[in-house]
Structures are given as structure tokens and as C-alpha cells.
């Protein structure tokens, strides 16, 4: 029998997980109103979900060595093998040091010009009154950014669509499989087959890029060169190098695509905000990508997009007994944390369900900024956070310089499964910026 946490009372228990499928965002963000730690029964699994920032800080920063990768990572290890995203302890620290130079601030200038070129090309491809599918457009520009910046590889249209499909299948399979009972997670269900097949194909794609670089010689000072240098020094296999490349490729694509799609959705639903943002972009004139931080409203708007649309559930597992909020959790306990619940906690953000960029006017002080951790924190912080933020700024700046976005129809939009719940398809009409 599984041990239960010991403490002064009983932890609140919520549902049996099925509510999570009906409305996962409402389910997870609602946990903040239930308690600082809530037991969530997900089918046959039990996860203790943290919704309080101070407790989360203890887990991810103050006492991080007491935890290892948890429930969700058992599933994605099938895809990512021995890579940064699933590593723990010293191996995680070593891999982070290995990959960090590819994301150094000194490299961002060169990346920014690539991002701007790709976003400008996308914006220039649209025509007045054209109906676009925004998620597909954002997905392809994000893939192009990652491949060109990290791998010095310019993909053709076929490659973009090929990788788009793989990313979708991995994202859906990772989330669904992690909460299925173990027997179902191992069955040859369509979602499981697609997940494993997509992982195999994406690893092979990265291995082919590595082999081509090795055969071609020359240096690009990009991620592939970093991996090949590591191979020469540490005698890593191509399979190991490909696992690191897959981590960067998938990790750089899925969250940015979802965030950009939500940004265009919010703009299409909020004409006044869109007008304010367009006026700021127009008034600033031509800006180098490195100067986009000067656009106050653009950055406040992006802050609000990532606050409202945050990762729903991430996990750790205790390796020793730990104390949290007066309760003692034994080793082997699955501890979940929801950035979405933290970012919609009414004790931190007033009227948390209201989309309001003006809440960030004074974000340089107070608990609001400290408790805002869109890229997580501690050793779990996203290694590419600066890269991702620059891509969000640059892409939005380029498309908003030319276009207004208007919704098409009033029907319910399809849902996309992933770490950040997204929109499966977002049809929008583009109209030229007036004046």
C-alpha cells in the first residue's frame, strides 16, 4: 500500500481526473482556490499538486536535490532517451553546461536577424482579406527559426510539414500517455503508435543532420558544432547527440507555437488592445530585434498571454522524505506543480481570469513579478528562455507591422493537446494595417 503524507490534517482531494479532460484549464487553475497542496486522483495515479508559489520555490530552488523527474517524464523518456529534458542530478547539470553556449546572450543577435527574416517573409506572403490558419503559420515559422538558428539548416516546405506532424503527435502522445493507466499506456493504441513513431522519426532526422554536418566539415558555431565537439571529447554516440538535438528541437517548437497562436487569438478578440499595440509598433518605426524590449505594451501584452496560457502540469518525484506545508511526503511520492494555477492564483493576481496587460505596469516591484515564472525556475528553468522570448517579440512585431487579425466564425475552436493547452486550428482573416 502506498504511504500517505503525514501532517496535522487531511489534504484536500479533487476529482478522479475525468474533470481534467472535460476542461483541463478550469480544472487545474481551480486548484488554487482549493488549497496550497491538493491531492489529484488521475485514473489510477495519485499526484499531489502544488499551487502555492512559496512551496513551489522550496521544491524547485531551495531543496531541488530532494526530487527527481516524475510521472510525466516516464512517458517522454521513450522519446528523449538520455537527454536534458529527462536527466536528473549531476547528469542534468552536465548536459545543461554542454548545451548552454548555444543559448548565450552573445548569440542572440545573430539569431534575432534570422527570426526577423522569417517573420517578415511570412507577413509578406499574406494578401489583403486572406483567410489564414494561424496555428499552422506560427508552427512553420517557429520550426524554421529553431532549425536555422540552432542547426544552420534552412528547411524546405516539405520538411516544415513533416516536422509539424511529428511535433503534434509527440505533444499529444506525451500528455495522454502519461495519465493513462500503465496497461493502456503500453497498448498499441493509435495515440501510442503515433507517439513512438514520431519520436523515432524525429531522432533519425536529427541524426541525419549530425551526420551531414560531420561529412561536410566546416564550422557554423551552432548547436550541432557544440554536440560534435562533445562527441570528440567524450566519445558520445550519434544516438546520444541526436537525443540532445531532439530535446532542443521539440522544446523550442511546441511552447512557442502555442503561445504565438494564443497571442493572435487574443488580439483578434480584443480590438482595442490590438489597436494600442499597433500604434506602439507603428510609432516606434524600424527597430532592431535587440531593441524590442523598449516596446512597453508589446511586452506587457506578452506577459499576460503567457500568464493566462501557462503549462498545466509538470511533475517531480521525491527521492527522500520531504516536508511541505506541515505535511511529510515519503520518498517515491509524485509531486505535481501547475504554473497555470500559480499564475491564476487570486492571492497573487487580482481578478486572475481577466486578460489585462495593464496589470504589468508596475511589474518591476512587488510579489507579482517574483511569482511570475513562465519558464519555471531553478534547475528546471527552460534553457532557451531568452531565445523563446526574442522569438515571440520578433514574430509579433513583424506581423503586427503589416496586418490586423479578425476572427472567422463563432464556432468552438478545436483543442490541441500539449504541455500548454492550445488551439488546434485558428482561422483568421488578415487585413492591412490602416494608415
What distances in angstroms separate CA 357 from CA 277, 303, 340, 397, one per listed residue? 11, 7, 17, 17
What distances in angstroms separate CA 273 from CA 204, 335, 340, 395, one per listed residue? 44, 38, 23, 17
Q: Is the pLDDT of residue 418 over 50?
A: yes
Mean pLDDT is lowest, of 96-100, 180-184, 399-403, for 180-184
- The binding site consists of 382
Per-residue pLDDT band for 177 (boundaries 50, 70, 90) equals: low
For 192-210, letters b (16+ CB in 10 Å) and e give bebbbebbebbbebbbebb
Q: Please tell me what DSSP assigns to residue 381.
A: S
Mean per-residue pLDDT, 247-269: 94
Strand bridging mode 314-318 / 334-337? antiparallel
- Contacts for 145 with CB less than 8 Å, ≥ 6 apart: 111, 114, 115, 118, 252, 391
Question: How many Å apart are CA 197 and CA 90, to the nearest integer?
Answer: 30
Mean per-residue pLDDT, 300-314: 94
- The binding site for heme consists of 382
What distances in angstroms separate CA 59 from CA 31, 307, 315, 317, 325, one per listed residue? 18, 21, 11, 10, 12
Question: For residue 69, what are the β-bridge partners?
Answer: 316
13-432 CATH choice from 3.40.50.1820, 1.10.238.10, 1.10.3720.10, 1.10.630.10: 1.10.630.10
Q: What is the pLDDT of residue 185?
A: 64
Using an 8 Å Cβ cutoff, are 141 and 122 in contact? yes
DSSP3 helix / strand / coil % (the chain, rounded to 5): 60, 10, 30
Q: What is the pLDDT of residue 2?
A: 53
Question: How many Å apart are CA 248 and CA 396, to the nearest integer?
Answer: 22
- Higher pLDDT: 177 or 242? It is 242
What distances in angstroms separate CA 1 from CA 4, 110, 179, 327, one per listed residue? 9, 55, 20, 19
Q: Is the pLDDT of residue 15 over 70?
A: no
- Give SS3 for 415: strand
Q: Is the pLDDT of residue 180 over 80?
A: no
Q: Is the pLDDT of residue 330 over 50?
A: yes
- Contacts for 273 with CB less than 8 Å, ≥ 6 apart: 266, 267, 301, 357
For 78-108, letters b (16+ CB in 10 Å) and e give bbbbebbbbbbeeebeebeebbeebbeeebb
Percent of the chain with pLDDT over 90: 58
Using an 8 Å Cβ cutoff, are 41 and 31 in contact? no
Using an 8 Å Cβ cutoff, are 318 and 331 in contact? yes
Mean pLDDT is lowest, of 109-118, 265-274, 278-287, 353-362, for 278-287
Q: What is the pLDDT of residue 16?
A: 55
User: Can you list the alpha helix ranges (DSSP code H) found in 81-156?
Assistant: 89-99, 105-125, 134-151
Cα dihedral 78→67→383→153 (10° resolution)? -10
Question: How many Å apart are CA 156 and CA 428, to the nearest integer?
Answer: 25
Q: Is the pLDDT of residue 92 over 50?
A: yes
Using an 8 Å Cβ cutoff, are 132 and 430 in contact? yes
User: Can you list the alpha helix ranges (DSSP code H) found in 235-362?
Assistant: 238-269, 271-284, 296-308, 339-343
- How far is residue 177 CA from its own chain's centroid? 18
Q: What is the pLDDT of residue 188?
A: 75
Using an 8 Å Cβ cutoff, are 424 and 414 in contact? yes
Mean pLDDT is lowest, of 93-97, 98-102, 249-253, 367-371, for 367-371
Question: How many Å apart are CA 61 and CA 63, to the nearest integer?
Answer: 6
- How far is residue 241 CA from its own chain's centroid? 22
Highest mean pLDDT among 76-80, 233-237, 304-308: 304-308
Burial class (CB in 10 A: 0-12, 13-18, 19+), 309: buried
Amino acid at each position: 500500500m502506498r504511504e500517505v503524507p503525514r501532517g496535522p490534517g487531511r489534504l484536500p482531494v479533487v476529482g478522479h481526473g475525468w474533470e481534467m479532460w472535460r476542461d483541463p484549464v478550469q480544472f487545474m487553475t481551480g486548484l488554487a482556490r482549493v488549497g496550497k497542496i491538493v491531492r489529484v486522483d488521475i485514473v489510477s495515479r495519485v499526484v499531489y499538486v502544488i499551487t502555492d508559489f512559496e512551496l513551489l520555490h522550496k521544491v524547485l530552488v531551495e531543496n531541488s536535490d530532494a526530487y527527481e523527474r516524475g510521472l510525466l517524464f516516464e512517458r517522454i523518456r521513450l522519446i528523449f532517451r538520455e537527454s536534458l529534458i529527462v536527466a536528473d542530478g549531476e547528469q542534468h547539470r552536465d548536459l545543461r553546461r554542454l548545451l548552454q553556449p548555444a543559448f548565450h546572450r552573445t548569440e542572440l543577435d545573430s539569431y534575432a536577424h534570422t527570426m526577423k527574416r522569417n517573420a517578415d517573409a511570412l507577413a509578406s506572403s499574406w494578401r489583403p482579406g486572406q483567410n489564414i490558419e494561424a496555428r499552422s503559420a506560427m508552427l512553420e515559422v517557429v520550426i524554421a527559426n529553431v532549425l536555422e538558428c540552432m542547426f544552420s539548416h534552412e528547411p524546405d516546405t516539405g520538411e516544415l510539414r513533416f516536422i509539424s506532424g511529428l511535433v503534434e503527435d509527440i505533444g499529444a502522445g506525451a500528455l495522454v500517455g502519461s495519465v493513462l493507466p500503465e496497461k493502456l499506456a503500453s497498448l498499441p493504441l493509435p495515440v501510442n503508435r503515433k507517439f513512438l513513431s514520431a519520436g523515432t522519426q524525429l531522432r533519425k532526422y536529427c541524426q541525419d543532420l549530425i551526420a551531414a554536418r560531420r561529412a561536410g566539415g566546416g564550422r557554423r558555431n551552432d548547436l550541432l558544432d557544440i554536440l560534435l565537439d562533445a562527441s570528440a571529447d567524450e566519445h558520445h554516440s550519434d544516438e546520444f547527440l541526436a537525443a540532445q538535438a531532439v530535446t532542443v528541437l521539440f522544446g523550442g517548437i511546441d511552447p512557442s507555437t502555442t503561445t504565438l497562436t494564443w497571442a493572435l487569438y487574443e488580439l483578434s478578440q480584443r480590438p482595442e488592445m490590438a489597436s494600442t499595440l499597433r500604434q506602439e509598433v507603428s510609432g516606434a518605426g524600424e527597430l532592431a530585434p535587440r531593441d524590442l524590449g523598449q516596446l512597453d505594451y508589446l511586452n506587457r501584452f506578452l506577459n499576460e498571454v503567457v500568464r493566462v496560457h501557462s503549462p498545466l502540469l509538470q511533475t517531480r518525484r521525491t527521492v527522500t522524505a520531504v516536508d511541505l506545508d506541515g505535511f511529510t511526503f515519503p520518498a517515491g511520492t509524485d509531486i505535481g506543480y501547475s504554473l497555470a494555477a500559480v499564475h491564476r492564483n487570486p492571492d497573487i493576481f487580482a481578478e486572475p481570469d481577466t486578460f489585462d496587460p495593464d496589470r504589468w505596469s508596475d511589474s518591476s516591484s512587488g510579489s507579482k513579478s517574483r511569482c511570475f515564472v513562465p519558464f519555471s525556475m531553478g534547475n528546471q528553468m527552460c534553457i532557451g528562455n531568452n531565445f523563446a522570448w526574442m522569438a515571440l517579440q520578433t514574430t509579433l512585431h513583424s506581423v503586427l507591422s503589416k496586418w490586423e487579425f479578425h476572427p472567422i466564425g463563432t464556432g468552438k475552436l478545436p483543442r490541441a493537446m500539449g504541455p500548454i493547452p492550445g488551439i488546434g486550428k485558428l482561422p483568421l482573416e488578415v487585413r492591412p494595417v490602416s494608415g
